[in-house]
Chain A
Amino acid sequence: MEEKPAVAHEAVDHGAQPVHHHHSHAATSRHGHGHHLLTVEDLSVSFLMYDEEAAAMRAQGDSRADRGRLGRYLHAPQREVEVIRSLSLSVHEGEIVAVVGASGSGKTLLADAVLGLFEPNALVRGRIWFDGRPMDAAALAAERGRGIALVPQSVASLDPLMRVGRQVEGMPRGRGAARRADAGRRRARRRELFARYGLAEEVARLYPHELSGGMARRVLLCCALMDAPKLIIADEPTPGLDLPLAQAALADFRAFADDGGGVMLITHDIELALTVADRVAVFRDGTVVEETSVAAFASPDTLAHPFTRQLWHALPEHGFVVTTEGSPLC
């Protein structure tokens, strides 16, 4: 993607040149090695679904959707439903990008697409680069849990029947002696992470249902950090946590970003996003309508898209004003 030499690009002053690559940059945005950590371009995700309208048409004797006598019995008419369309998004090294959108608007599908987790009936198109490499489905699958890690929303994402320690450690790789060595390495890494996040060693012996909210949050984070990923995708990590816990969670993401990682924070809570993120990608109707720095939220004049401005007006400190068409988030 980059025409310029990498070093020259790294030297770009984001303060003086805030808008390039179709998005505004924050002061912390770094093009490490001259590229984005994650670039998503023109992503669309659609599903093949049974078409009830065509079926009804056919039942009424309309032959337009017909495939002939035999086909009628063997094929139900299907249509493609696009859930994410021409979405573009970038995550730089050292920054948190908050993907803000209403609950149920398909944000999790974006996470699935970046993780290469697709439903069998999903059609995914677009281009994804991770750490400067163009990715296909197999490459994304290879980075799952290694280069790109997911922090899920709740303890429901842990196996209820397996002790927390073993789950954080994950499945050892290899065979025989190599497998035992890997298991030992993983145990050591898990101990180190538990110590860093203030989890007692006994927690490893607990089952998920025995964890408190605060412990669960840190356990999920430790799962994600096991293989030292470069990018963390946090899917709604804060709902269900009280404010101090939510702030602690966000502080941990901040620390990860400050150490040179990238975080894609998927959330419906724009207020919380503005307190911790460097940039905000506003998600609506299956696409990112505006990708801008948090600083731009200082005034509606620096926001480009009408929907983002509506969001701004709907914030509590701006008086909860709900303007014209389209409902604000939450």
Chain B
Amino acid sequence: MSVLIEVDQLTKSFGPFIAVDNISFSLKRGEVLGFLGPNGAGKTTTMRMITGFLSPTKGNIKVCDNDVAKYPLQIKEKIGYVPEGAPLYGEMTVLNFLKFIADVRKIPKNKIDDAIDNAINKLGLELVLYQQLETLSKGYKRRVGLSQAILHDPDVLILDEPTDGLDPNQKHEVRKLIKEMASTKAIIISTHILEEVDAVCTRAMIIAKGRMIIDKSPKELLVGSPDGSTLDDVFRNLTIGNTGENK
């Protein structure tokens, strides 16, 4: 399988503060990578660098064999991105917003309707098409954010806390959607809901204080931990250090 994302010794500092410290990894088509870590660990910053929103202090990123720094526009065409909090233009209606995205994403005219219909169906937006985005509930906003990210059927999906604010049923739906798309794309998800990693990810990467601590499959994470450990225990052990709280 082809490698779609290559991150090489990625570092980002904001003044004296090192947000991301020398992270390297690569991701193939068909893989779903879960970024785990406490708040402020550097997950969002890493994603912002991969999508070209921030430029790295050091290191290289390649998406679909193109260097992000050299070909920012080509990269952006390949990526679907839900930024943290899924920001949207509040005054637009759902339909107009998707049309705008389709327009900027240069989806051919004869395919725009299909692409929009497809996104609407997948995220269940039929009932809110003509509502202004700012009037929607948090769950709907999040789903509109996801729908704009998959509109152009990108090779790479980067989702910053995609299920934040969704109710359990919606979470289930979104996870199902991610699983459905997983085989044809490379997907990165950040989350601090550990069950989510177990549910959708083929790999889990724990980041704390900007450093990558671990990069394994969710099942492997549990290996070597005492019987009955959950991912929660492993997570706390790795990110707080072994303080004996773990049973």
The answer to whether A binds B is no
